[in-house]
Amino acid sequence: MSDLQRRALVASPTPQAQEAARELADAHDWVHPEDADLIVALGGDGFMLQTLHAMLERRKPIVPVFGMNLGTVGFLMNEWQRHGLNDRLARTKPFKVTPLAMTAVTVSGDTYSLPAINEVSLLRETRQTAKLEITLNDRIVMPELACDGILVATPAGSTAYNFSAQGPILPLGSNLLALTPISPFRPRRWRGAIVPDKARISIRVLEPGKRPVSAVGDQREVRDVARVDVVIDRSRELTLLFDPEHALDDRITMEQFAA
């Protein structure tokens, strides 16, 4: 096995994924993820996000990931198959995914910087409606949004929480972000916006003491935020590998026609 073919195997702790990992363990010469040029991930979409975040936080350079679904939905995964992995990897179609960079400042003045592959979401913490001010490229575009929350979604994440909140599905390569309110109360008819992915989005929490808000980057939460800034982080581009007949761009497109 040449250096360009070094592969690592990672698996979700679920029984199904662990059993699949045991089946593949002796079929290939695996290396530690830190030494790999390609990672095979077994699990669901949540585990895929964990795997990608681990690379964003710990390793350089970032390497491609080929996922096989041993979870529930598996939108970011390929079909699980025990045999033919070498041939599948030779035929894969790569897709670039650019994460968001979230910078959250809390009421107490602490600052947290977190990546988000699917979305950044702001959510009310109590029964009190959140009140938010939205700024786009240093221009206040909405002085006050009363809502349960708001999210900024990438094309890769537009079919997840964003779509459940009635946000738009964004094609891969569209260079767009979705800004989607969650249960907006005022302005009641505002359904969100589609903005260029080069935009700088800032969200300020109004009355944070009375109406506390948390910010979540994919699966990591920062509570009691006062302000959240979101931009695309082009310095940490990720690569997902897919079977040609199971390509991510086609799946995202077809989600618009799902019943």
pLDDT tens digits, one per residue of 38-86: 999 999 999 999 999 999 987 678 999 999 999 988 889 999 999 999 9
Domain count, the chain: 2
Q: Where are the alpha helices (DSSP H) in 168-247?
A: none
Which residue carries 């459940």 as its tokens?
Answer: 164
What CATH number corresponds to the domain at position 198?
A: 2.60.200.30
Q: Is 119 annotated as contributing to ligand binding?
A: yes
Show the domain range for 247: 3-98+237-255
Tell me the sheet residues that pair with 104: 112, 228
Same domain, 126 and 90: no
Residues 127 and 193 in one domain: yes
> Does the annotation list 45 as a binding residue?
yes
Q: Are residues 160 and 66 in the same domain?
A: no
CA–CA separation, 118 and 157 (whole Å): 4
| Residue 227 shares a structural domain with residue 164 | yes
E-state strands within 13-162: 38-43, 65-69, 93-97, 100-106, 111-116, 119-124, 130-136, 139-147, 149-153
The annotation status of 112 as a binding-site residue, yes or no, is: no
Residue pLDDT, tens place only, 180-213: 999 999 998 899 999 999 999 999 999 999 999 9
Q: Indicate if 246 and 191 belong to the same structural domain.
A: no
CATH number for the domain harbouring residue 84: 3.40.50.10330
Do 230 and 117 reside in the same domain of the chain? yes
How many Å apart are CA 49 and CA 55, to the nearest integer? Answer: 10
* Catalytic, out of 26, 29, 37, 45: 45
CA 205/CA 93 separation, integer angstroms: 41
pTM attached to this predicted model: 0.89
> What is the three-class DSSP state of 18?
helix
Whether 3 is catalytic: no
